[in-house]
Amino acid sequence: MNELEKYTENNFEEIKHTDEFGEEYWSARELMKVLEYSKWENFSKVIDKAKTSCRLSGYNVNDCFPEVGKTITSGKGKQELIEDYHLTRYACYLIAQNGDARKKVIALAQTYFAIQTRKQELTEQEYCNLTEDEKRLYQRNLTKKGNYSLKS
């Protein structure tokens, strides 16, 4: 993996968030910067195309692109509510697929999200193939790791 690819992959991981239910998401505003879009208006067009792809694929757009408001303070100190999304990995993948193909970072994003999505699919398939006892052991180990993390 060359330096630029490693840098870009780290950027996607650095802006990944986890909600109170342990679900990962990316802020559209943060992703916009990593994908080198300077204007929300341009990036929101890409989001709209990705939403269309999502809907036509049979997924619930509101599940993949939940809208959230974000409060910012302008230069004059005025508080303003701006549009943002908490994007699923699939939503990020669709955004990368619909992004400006002339940007190298878009190609890297396409690769990153495709690979990560496939890894997650394999993990879920492997989990489904476990016996009930193996599933309990797996869940117990996850809980153990979580408790250790909380203790730290």
Is residue 89 within 8 Å of residue 116, measured between CB atoms? Answer: yes
Instruction: Tell which wins on pLDDT, 74 or 102.
Output: 102
Report yes or no: 142 and 22 within 8 Å, Cβ to Cβ. no
The residue with tokens 């990944």 is 16
Task: Please report the DSSP string for 2-39 in residue order.
Answer: -HHHHHHHHHHHHTEEE-TTS-EEEEHHHHHHHTT---
In this prediction, residue 141 has a pLDDT band, given cuts at 50, 70 and 90, of low
pTM above 0.75, yes or no: no
Q: In the prediction, which pLDDT does 146 show? A: 52
Render pLDDT for 19-77 as a digit per residue (tens, 0 to 9): 888 899 999 999 999 999 999 999 999 999 999 999 999 999 999 999 998 888 877 88
Q: How confident is the model at residue 149 (pLDDT cuts 50, 70, 90)?
A: very low
Q: Where are the chain's structural domains? A: 3-151
Q: Is there a contact between 112 and 12 (Cβ–Cβ < 8 Å)?
A: yes
